[in-house]
Amino acid sequence: MSLSYTPIGSVFGARRSRGTGLRGLLFVLECALGVLAVVLVSALAHWAGWLLPVALLLYLLIVVPTALLYGFWQAVIVSFVAATLVVLFVPEVALWLPRRLGY
């Protein structure tokens, strides 16, 4: 056998798809950490009325470190969940913000 021998199976063999294995698990765990923080802030804002005015700032303080520490796509997912929870879980903020901005 020559030194330049390459098995056919390694050239045309099945490759692992992107996002599987440990990288995919890490991505999911990073997203889950941010989503968990957003859900906790939403629950506290819902049950403690004094937290409503600062809830959006707290969401921002969760999304920005997520983007800096973990990456853009993780921050996109966390910010989407935060925006969804503002509308669904804390409707007081969704009603308060337009009046505060003068709309």
From residue 61, alpha-carbon distances to 6, 7, 39, 43, 99 in Å are 51, 51, 14, 16, 23
Is the full-model pTM beyond 0.85? no
Per-residue pLDDT of the chain (103 residues; tens, 9 = 90+): 555 655 555 555 555 555 568 888 999 999 999 999 999 998 888 788 777 778 888 999 999 999 999 999 999 999 999 988 887 776 666 666 666 666 6
Q: Which two tokens stand for residue 52?
A: 């409503």
Q: Any idea where the domains of the chain sit in the sequence?
A: 21-101
